[in-house]
Amino acid sequence: MKNTIIANWKMSASLEGVHAYVSTFKSLKIPKDRDIIFCPPTPYLTFMDGALSGMPLYIGAQDCAASQKISNTGEASADMLKDVGCSHVIVGHSEVRQRTNPTQKDISAKLQNAIDSGLHPIFCVGESLEIYKINKTKDHLEEQLKALDALAKEKAPLKNILIAYEPIWAIGTGIIPTMTEIEDICAFIAEHISKTYNIAIPVLYGGSVKGKNAGEILSLPSVNGVLVGGASLDPKEFHKICMAD
Ligand code: PGA
């Protein structure tokens, strides 16, 4: 499967900064064998769509609404995100989960809305440090992955999903699991999906990915890409990750 490299800018950036970023990134060589997806804050999606047009680069949003009700003040629907040029949307990022406490039904609804709108959801799963320490990571992931059950009735929608394994304790901390642990968990997720739904879905790793560790992570057999937060804010560092092998 083609390696997918995702930049999650979270709430960083300014319009001026985004202009400068794009002009630096565009001056660098873009690898053809990778899908590169930028997830800027929602207000900059339209600008990014215009700035990257004609280039082999994709745009994603950082979340979408669980309900299509128009009375959802402050939210953006998957249809709207598609409208402004998104091909992808992150669903279930731990920072969003911690802030909004979504139910499993909400996560399923976001995934379904994204698929119905023609987007590829990047479905984030991952354990807290407490769960990791008591060795319950796999049980926890199995629970989180049950959000796919509601979609599994038809196999077709599932093939549009990417899974991102992001241990919460590795996000923004500079600490990452060992390569053996990353491989073990990503293989577990791929096997679980294949056994439960009889389909192959790409599994990405996220959490403190940098230019210096990206090559090693991307070379793991069960890792199909990376989701990058902090290190994606510098265009040269992110480019290094895009080129890593
Ligand atoms: P990080 O963030 O690369 O800064 O650890 C990853 C993420 O939150 O998706």
Taking the C-alpha atoms of residue 41 and residue 144, their distance in angstroms, rounded to an integer, is 25
Taking the C-alpha atoms of residue 241 and residue 129, their distance in angstroms, rounded to an integer, is 26
**Ligand 1, atom nearest to 90 Cα:** 9
> Which protein residues are within 6 Å of ligand 1, measured from CB?
8, 166, 171-172, 206-209, 227-231
Taking the C-alpha atoms of residue 21 and residue 15, their distance in angstroms, rounded to an integer, is 10
pLDDT digits (tens, 9 = 90+) for 18-39: 999 999 999 999 998 999 999 9
Catalytic residue among 93, 120, 183, 239: 93
135 in Cβ contact with 188 (< 8 Å): no
Taking the C-alpha atoms of residue 242 and residue 226, their distance in angstroms, rounded to an integer, is 9
Give the closest residue (by CA) to ligand 1 atom 2: 229
166 classed as catalytic: yes
16 classed as catalytic: no
Taking the C-alpha atoms of residue 192 and residue 138, their distance in angstroms, rounded to an integer, is 10
- The per-residue pLDDT for 159 is 84
Distance 71 CA to ligand 1 centre (A): 31
* pTM beyond 0.85: yes
152 in Cβ contact with 197 (< 8 Å): yes
State the SS3 of 211-223. HHHHHHHHCCCCC
Taking the C-alpha atoms of residue 215 and residue 145, their distance in angstroms, rounded to an integer, is 27
- The per-residue pLDDT for 1 is 56
pLDDT digits (tens, 9 = 90+) for 65-117: 998 888 999 999 999 999 999 999 999 999 999 999 999 999 999 999 999 99
> In angstroms, how far is CA 54 from the centroid of its own chain?
23
* Tokens at 231, concatenated: 């290190």
Taking the C-alpha atoms of residue 217 and residue 203, their distance in angstroms, rounded to an integer, is 12
pLDDT digits (tens, 9 = 90+) for 215-243: 999 999 999 999 999 999 999 999 999 99
**Ligand 1, atom nearest to 6 Cα:** 9
Average pLDDT over residues 153-177: 91
Return the amino acid letter for 57: L
